[in-house]
Structure 1
Amino acid sequence: MKYFELKCKAYIKQNIELNDSFDILSSYINFSFLEDEKLKKSHGEKGFKNYCFGNFYPIEKDKVYKVGNTYEFIIRSLDEEFIYKLQRILRENINNSYLQVLQATKKVVKQFFISELYTVTPTITTVKDENGKSIFWTVDKDGDILKLQKQLQDNLLKKYENFYNEKLEPTQNFIQLLEIKNQKPQSIFFNKKINDEKYIKVRLFGNKFKIVPNEDEVSQKLAFVALGCGLGEKQSYGGGFVLGKGIK
């Protein structure tokens, strides 16, 4: 197993507030897909996209990314061809009113033993409440940790099976220890198009976790998938971007 990463250096053309940054980056990446017929087709299809991205860093104290400064962001995928195509497109300097990618450096990461995972963007997870209605999992709204862990594992299993076209047979949940790092839900905002003239701002609620995965083969594969294409849902909006510690 491998994942492929693009570390992008971006020049900021106008101030970007933190609450707008996920939507701006998501839109920028989505627009890039239009420059390649295969990416354009896959983007329009339903199902897992097998990529994730992190927000601009470093974060400014006032939570505003400043015009004239450069920041980095990372895009990851299990799909090498996807990363290769995206690298080529980004190097062609897509015209955008908010940012311009100056550099996109590719990195290949082979599977390694993962001792800890840390989510650096909110992990979005939907579960069913007692009435069968889908809700975002938060401590206040649900609070069932075992339900959360099952949902996170089921999502990773589907991502693995979708990309590798084979099933895994876990004997336990891949999570040995889960620690919620936020005191209140974390948010991702994006603009949803209603018609040609109108947009509404949508708010996704999530959490940031520290996860210690189990050491068995299946658990380690699922932890690696979390690194390669995100933990939880809404990766195309920036959800569930993960960093890992371990032995390489």
Structure 2
Amino acid sequence: MAQIPHVLVVDDEAAQREMLVYNMEAAGFRTTRATNGEEALESVAEDPPDVIVLDWMMPLLSGIEVCRRLKIKSETAAIPVIMLSARSEDVDKVRGLETGADDYVVKPYSVTELVARVRASLRRVRPATVGQTLTYDDIVLDSETHRVTRDGSDLKLGPTEFRLLSTFMEKPGRVWSRDQLLDRVWGRDVYVDTRTVDVHVGRLRKVLTESGGADPVRTVRGAGYALG
């Protein structure tokens, strides 16, 4: 459940919003909704998505302003934003992209194409969720077959350890706090003590080093864990 890609859909028009949510969920994504810009910013703070599908024209706070605020904050700057707009002029596209949008889709659009663009964004930020093979040094993780090898030897990982490793391998070097790992690996709706993270990281380390290889998981005192 925790590995299902999360898409935030932001649109003030109910019919358009629900159509997008329906199609994103049919494509296998977990979704949350926001009906305006303020709601979108609150949603990102509470439950950070992997991709944001954001309408430009909204009352109170426009999609452009939401995008600008997200991109100037280090903790949300890397979240891909796909801007939806009826504005088709090149100058509008340029404005949207210069504000920080990662993609710009003009209305009316093909839902199939939009889903493909969401998947393309996910390939950049969470490759394991779209079936890609991840590699770090001599460790290879195949997210489609759920197979992990190190130096050519198969590793037997439990489902939680597999999700932990894929999270680490998607962003080598990034320091993950225990709370961030709980959200990503266990999910926000499951109550798990942060000490459980330490237990599963210990199990992951044991499997990764059982054939004598160096431990690739680094403990960052007071912060969490990182790969490499």
Q: TM-score, normalised by structure 2?
A: 0.25
Q: Rg bigger for which structure?
A: 2
* Greater strand proportion: 1
Q: Which has the higher contact order (CA 8 A, sep 6+)?
A: 1
Q: TM-score, normalised by structure 1?
A: 0.23
